[in-house]
Chain A
């Protein structure tokens, strides 16, 4: 007989589609549905009582896992683990390697990270910065059918969308820098990603701002001068205080991270 129970979600409907088609059909327009991908974000929310879903869509069996290459284009299934990205080129590989620890990375998914809502006490969704600078395309299903959006547009309007995969062109060079606290697997207070594409365009993005990750066009315009780029970046961001760091501290560290990541870029080329 069970003892002190922590009975959870006895009334919640659990959907477990066995293919991409079934997942899309089950998702519909996403209304009233909570997606459970890796579970690293959703499960603690349920455990602590912040989230009481009525219907949960579990994607573990929907065949959305895998990394495919077609020439210079890489396509990553939404349910691919963050750990599986670690060997990829900078900035994505390094950004993925910096997420949490290997047990969490093995369970967390690319789709979950991309769609992570802003954290209660610490930033989430570091990979958003990497995908922004890779000019990635997000293929999703939902109301109105399947769509492919630039990741920037997707992040601005992701409600009611089921991410299927993310694709991007291999960058010519990548750079990465982050502000961690000096122990193990804490969330990163700031994550800076940089990519230079084959045509020479340099993109710079940061995660850990007040909202989803953003591009830093003012810094991009000065990418040849790391110190100037760092200073210019502050015009493109707004920071909030959270449990990891104050806005004050982030303002002072962002220029340093940009300088370092640009330095990375030179070496990676």
Chain B
């Protein structure tokens, strides 16, 4: 095995440094038409009139598509994971976020394409919009989504992710102090240096060749096949060369739209998003609102955690139920807390739908959990390393949803950091390990949650 432990060159390195790497926008197909989109100028509105006829008649315009051109208008990216479809490829009766695509134009060049977009007649009846997840539950809040203001289709039609363990009331009764915190990381835009881009070529045999910047090639094939209602063997995807994705190119819809345009006019088309579009209309990492209340003893044991998470999904679900699910499993972080009451909601707002970004669902809760640990340490006057070591996961501890830890690395990691920083620790902390809890590190309240590592 020569590769293991070896320092191998990147197989694409020479191409990168000589400018030979072919990104989607570098593909050259003669006769390719340029694509531009008509996007909603309003945050929340009913579409009362949409007329593309004048634009269609313009010189140099080869095809325009609207919702009527889409064989299957709504297809859920994660239908296979039980998340029903809720987002139309192109807006039909209403728009739910500023920037939502309504009509797509393929024309001879960028100038003509934009002029055609400007010539499309669109009338909207604007409605009040919702931007603050905290207001989503008010009785007088604007209603964002056909399902209300939060996702209601978790298993058994639950409207939230719910974790219950032990008895939170017992924890609160036994606590010396309740430490509370609210954590609200903001949305983050991926800013890949390559904007979203797609090139479609109609082949003589009736297939489509689709050059895509998607991060998830087979996934995108399925999405296009579903919207177009064609078998997979009608599509030839070419991809894998992505100019930065970071999670922002897993929910691309450009392939489907370009495919429909190409089928309609019989010509190759290319859609390259402008940087403005990428900033304003592409999906971002979600903003989160997290409230934590921990029941804590004065010597630094965390007896219980009550937590509420509101995940801002934007106007449609996309992957949010999945992200929230991952988030909920991690709401105790690297620490063992026996009594838990967690409720998490996927909340809709009239913003660009949010999506995955590195560490999807978990970076938010890690940020909240670690900040909260430091807050507890400060309130109690306890060393922040010691409080973490004390509550750290050990072999045999169980996670919020009952998974038994067999190889947690919290203790050695924190000790290594303390070493590196020259942070002094008392001898009994210095000698801690991940071995199953015992003696002073196994207080009464942690006994019931223990599991058998053999059962993992």
The answer to whether A7 touches B109, judged by C-beta atoms less than 8 angstroms apart, is: yes
Is A3 located at the chain interface by the 8 A CB criterion? yes
Is B32 located at the chain interface by the 8 A CB criterion? yes
Chain B residues with CB below 8 A from A7, complex form = 109-111
The answer to whether B111 touches A8, judged by C-beta atoms less than 8 angstroms apart, is: yes
Distance in Å: Cβ of B22 to nearest Cβ of chain A: 14
Which B residues, 192 to 243, have Cβ-Cβ distances below 8 Å to chain A?
none
The answer to whether B30 touches A3, judged by C-beta atoms less than 8 angstroms apart, is: yes
Distance in Å: Cβ of A186 to nearest Cβ of chain B: 13
The answer to whether A48 touches B34, judged by C-beta atoms less than 8 angstroms apart, is: no
Name the residue among A3, A7, A8, A49 with the largest chain B CB count within 10 angstroms.
A3
Binary CB contact string for chain B from 50 to 80 against chain A (1 if under 8 A, 0 otherwise): 0000000000000000000000000000000
- With A48-B274, A48-B276, A49-B114 as given contacts, are A3 and B109 in contact (CB-CB < 8 Å)? no
CA–CA, A7 and B110, complex, Å: 7
Binary CB contact string for chain B from 79 to 115 against chain A (1 if under 8 A, 0 otherwise): 0000000000000000000000000000011110010
Distance in Å: Cβ of A87 to nearest Cβ of chain B: 32
Is B161 located at the chain interface by the 8 A CB criterion? no
Which A residues, 1 to 54, have Cβ-Cβ distances below 8 Å to chain B?
1, 3-8, 48-49
Chain B residues with CB below 8 A from A5, complex form = 34, 108-110
The answer to whether B114 touches A4, judged by C-beta atoms less than 8 angstroms apart, is: no
Is B347 located at the chain interface by the 8 A CB criterion? no
CA–CA, A6 and B32, complex, Å: 11
Chain B residues with CB below 8 A from A8, complex form = 111
Is B45 located at the chain interface by the 8 A CB criterion? no
Distance in Å: Cβ of B450 to nearest Cβ of chain A: 47
CA–CA, A48 and B111, complex, Å: 10
The answer to whether B110 touches A6, judged by C-beta atoms less than 8 angstroms apart, is: yes
Distance in Å: Cβ of B203 to nearest Cβ of chain A: 17
Chain A residues with CB below 8 A from B33, complex form = 4
- With A48-B274, A48-B276 as given contacts, are A1 and B111 in contact (CB-CB < 8 Å)? no
Name the residue among A1, A5, A48 with the largest chain B CB count within 10 angstroms.
A5
Is B29 located at the chain interface by the 8 A CB criterion? yes
What is the chain A residue whose CB lies nearest that of B112? A7
CA–CA, A1 and B31, complex, Å: 8
The answer to whether B274 touches A6, judged by C-beta atoms less than 8 angstroms apart, is: no
Distance in Å: Cβ of A181 to nearest Cβ of chain B: 14
Chain A interface residue count: which class? under 10
* Contact partner, A1, options B30, B110, B114, Cβ 8 Å: B30
The answer to whether A4 touches B111, judged by C-beta atoms less than 8 angstroms apart, is: no
* Contact partner, A3, options B31, B110, B111, B114, Cβ 8 Å: B31
Binary CB contact string for chain B from 351 to 386 against chain A (1 if under 8 A, 0 otherwise): 000000000000000000000000000000000000
Chain B residues with CB below 8 A from A49, complex form = 111, 114
Binary CB contact string for chain A from 78 to 102 against chain B (1 if under 8 A, 0 otherwise): 0000000000000000000000000
* Contact partner, B29, options A3, A6, A48, Cβ 8 Å: A3
Binary CB contact string for chain B from 17 to 41 against chain A (1 if under 8 A, 0 otherwise): 0000000000011111110000000
Is B270 located at the chain interface by the 8 A CB criterion? yes
Distance in Å: Cβ of A65 to nearest Cβ of chain B: 31
CA–CA, A48 and B34, complex, Å: 15
CA–CA, A7 and B375, complex, Å: 58
Chain B residues with CB below 8 A from A3, complex form = 28-32
- With A48-B274, A48-B276 as given contacts, are A6 and B114 in contact (CB-CB < 8 Å)? no
Chain A residues with CB below 8 A from B274, complex form = 48
- With A48-B276, A49-B114 as given contacts, are A6 and B28 in contact (CB-CB < 8 Å)? no
Chain A residues with CB below 8 A from B111, complex form = 6-8, 49
CA–CA, A183 and B301, complex, Å: 41
What is the chain A residue whose CB lies nearest that of B199? A4
Which B residues, 94 to 146, have Cβ-Cβ distances below 8 Å to chain A?
108-111, 114
The answer to whether B32 touches A4, judged by C-beta atoms less than 8 angstroms apart, is: yes
The answer to whether A6 touches B31, judged by C-beta atoms less than 8 angstroms apart, is: no
CA–CA, A6 and B270, complex, Å: 12
Chain B residues with CB below 8 A from A48, complex form = 274, 276
Distance in Å: Cβ of B96 to nearest Cβ of chain A: 24
What is the chain B residue whose CB lies nearest that of A8? B111
Distance in Å: Cβ of A121 to nearest Cβ of chain B: 10
The answer to whether B276 touches A4, judged by C-beta atoms less than 8 angstroms apart, is: no
What is the chain B residue whose CB lies nearest that of A1? B30
Binary CB contact string for chain B from 172 to 201 against chain A (1 if under 8 A, 0 otherwise): 000000000000000000000000000000
Distance in Å: Cβ of A185 to nearest Cβ of chain B: 15
The residues of A with any CB-CB pair to B shorter than 8 Å are: 1, 3-8, 48-49
A/B interface sample: 28 pairs, CB < 8 A: A1-B30, A1-B31, A3-B28, A3-B29, A3-B30, A3-B31, A3-B32, A4-B32, A4-B33, A4-B34, A4-B109, A4-B270, A5-B34, A5-B108, A5-B109, A5-B110, A6-B34, A6-B109, A6-B110, A6-B111, A7-B109, A7-B110, A7-B111, A8-B111, A48-B274, A48-B276, A49-B111, A49-B114
The residues of B with any CB-CB pair to A shorter than 8 Å are: 28-34, 108-111, 114, 270, 274, 276
Closest 7 CB pairs of A and B: A4-B32, A5-B109, A6-B110, A7-B109, A4-B270, A3-B32, A4-B34
